[in-house]
A and B are shown apart, each in its own frame.
Chain A
Amino acid sequence: MVINTDGLTFDFGSQTVVKSLSLQVPEGSIYGFLGPNGAGKTTTIKLLLNLLQTQQGSIQIFGKELKSNRLEILAQIGSLIEQPAIYLHLSGKENLLNRALLLQIGEARVNEVLKIVHLTDAAHKKAGQYSLGMKQRLGIALALLSDPKLLILDEPTNGLDPNGIIEVRELLIKLVSEHKKTVFISSHLLAEIERMATHVGIINHGELLFQGSIHDLEAMSKPAVQIETDNTVDAANYLSRNNYTVAEVTDTHLFVPYTTKQQMGNINKLLNDMGYNVYSITKQHKDLEKLFLDITQNA
């Protein structure tokens, strides 16, 4: 395990923000740390970076106790917390050079990360004049600078446009698959995490409500077959008579719990044979979103 916490608890005054959290982040994973705003994600991340002092419980990173091996551990972590920390009076490149100075890294690596986040052309522009997305990308570049083994990113796609989001996602997937890094990424958007995470932890009100691989989560969510047809009510009745469970019927769609690909094919054939026009038939993951809401709201 790259990150392993045990019974991590943190209070701000009388308010418990993190409740006996036990995170397990395996090596080489993209761990999606999901939760609504105010769930305790940033507090957890600050604890992982020793920015907040651990009050109860323990944190082990790379198999070592964080408190007693702080500098050694921090040397292998790149992080981006909340909005990126950037000196607005310096240019993008100067921001990176300053960090490179502190980490004793050469200018070649600075140019390299500028290229990775597509800021080479804006390198000499003052960071104060950067757009929100450019600042976010500079923040990611700062986190990548030391080529760390573990990346801790707090809502890294905030403020990015769709292209930027896809780029960050592809970059993270590449880092993990090709360079054997581990990524711990927080978000309040399930769709975001779903597309890249290998493991998921769901937190709300400081409590970990779910932890496991993305497949475990999908298995819990019971995907559905979404069928678009000209007469949904009749089609639903017909499917029911043929021993299919119809979960939901709307004016345009009907939903059947998904079991196998073969089942989808059978349904399609059945409806076509009876003369229903099937406009579309897809396996649908919307239920995961519902599951996420259920998990976080019922807690």
Chain B
Amino acid sequence: MKGFILSFRSEFYKSRKTAGFWSAVILPLLLCLLIFAGFYSRSDKMAMEPGMILWVQFSGAILGVMGSLLLPMLIVFIGYSVNSIEHKADTWKTLFSLPISKFAVYSAKYFYAMFLVFLCLALFVLFTVGFGNLLGTVKPGLKFHDYNMSGVLSQLYFKLFLSSLGILSIQFLLSLLFRDFLKPMGIGFVATITGVILVANQWTYDYLFPYSHPMLALSALPQHHNHTPGNNPISVDIFTREIYISLIIAALVFIAGYFIVLKKSVK
């Protein structure tokens, strides 16, 4: 456990000045800022909308972009950047000759990649709520203050996080094995497009394909609108079948990856 914590801290120390780390921070900031600017400029047209609808439109705009294409691509990039730091510096040999078990080194790297995805999605919640409330303040005509969506958003993004773990495991392993960016990127891109097509065509078994999971996680959102005041009109069912599949794939690929690392000769 000690080795894991030391390795995890080292991962942060190493990556804190790299694009991989900052992409997880800047992407949510930039995206939320853009949508904020869009809403700000069109605020007159939306002045009549009730608070809940405004929130759904605002967060939906952000979620829509994230869920289908951006999240898988971000995961491709994070999986790559966490591993490429060692490929580039030729440091696999030193990592695996440390007096720290190979499992601790491997799992710390994996969980650090997972942490970056989590951080990114948590920032999305934070920035969405923050910019929504900011909109309500700078444009008092928009009734953002009438409704609180932070609970639902947290659940939704948590579901998105769980749905992305299958992809993360696969991309992490690909980037661990391949030194260059093109292979994991190419495979990830093609698989993501395939995932989008499968979901769009409502293929019966699309929930088995990990790259479809983020889209499914959002599209399977059951929304029953009952407008009783004080009662939450949107409920999120987190543990749907694609989430279970995503978690199973993540666990299997993570374990398989460890055995590949054990067998692999260190260059």
Contacts and interface: CB of A to CB of B under 8 A. Distances in A.
Nearest to B90: A85
Contacts of A83: 90
A102 B88 CA distance: 20
Contacts of B89: 85-88
A89 B266 contact: no
A77 interface: yes
A101 B94 contact: no
A46 interface: yes
Interface in A83-100: 83, 85-90, 94, 97-99
B10 A102 contact: yes
Interface residues of A, number: 30
A100 to B, nearest CB: 10
Interface string B192-228: 0000000000000000000000000000000000000
A85 B18 contact: no
Given A89-B17, A89-B18, 7 more contacts: A46-B266, A52-B266, A74-B97, A74-B98, A101-B6, A102-B7, A102-B98
B178 interface: no
Nearest to A146: B99
B81 to A, nearest CB: 11
B98 to A, nearest CB: 6
A101 B10 contact: yes
B239 interface: no
A51 B99 contact: no
Interface in B93-143: 93-94, 96-101
A165 to B, nearest CB: 23
A209 interface: no
Q: Which of B6, B93, B96, B101 has the most CB of A within 10 A?
A: B93
B14 interface: yes
B94 A142 contact: yes
Contacts of A104: 6
Contacts of B99: 71-72, 74-75, 103
Interface in B239-253: none
6 closest cross-chain pairs (CB), A and B: A75-B99, A85-B91, A51-B266, A74-B99, A49-B97, A85-B94
A53 interface: yes
A98 B97 contact: no
Contacts of A142: 94
A116 interface: no
A40 to B, nearest CB: 14
Of the four ranges (under 10, 10 to 19, 20 to 34, 35 or more), the interface on chain B belongs to 20 to 34
Interface string B1-25: 0000011011001100110000000
B17 A50 contact: no
B266 A98 contact: no
Contact of B97 (A72, A77, A97): A77
A186 interface: no
Contact of A79 (B97, B263, B265): B97
A90 B14 contact: yes
Contacts of B93: 46, 49, 51, 81, 85
B85 interface: yes
A148 B85 CA distance: 26
Contacts of A52: 265-266
Interface in A12-67: 46, 49-53
B95 to A, nearest CB: 9
A18 to B, nearest CB: 13
A79 B115 CA distance: 31
A94 B263 CA distance: 31
A86 B17 CA distance: 15
Contacts of A99: 94
Q: Which of A71, A86, A97 has the most CB of B within 10 A?
A: A71
Contact of B100 (A89, A97, A102): A102
A157 B93 CA distance: 19
A102 B4 CA distance: 10
Interface string B67-90: 000000000000000000100111
A18 B101 CA distance: 26
A71 B94 contact: no
Nearest to B97: A49
A71 B13 contact: no
Given A89-B18, A90-B14, A101-B13, A50 B94 contact: no
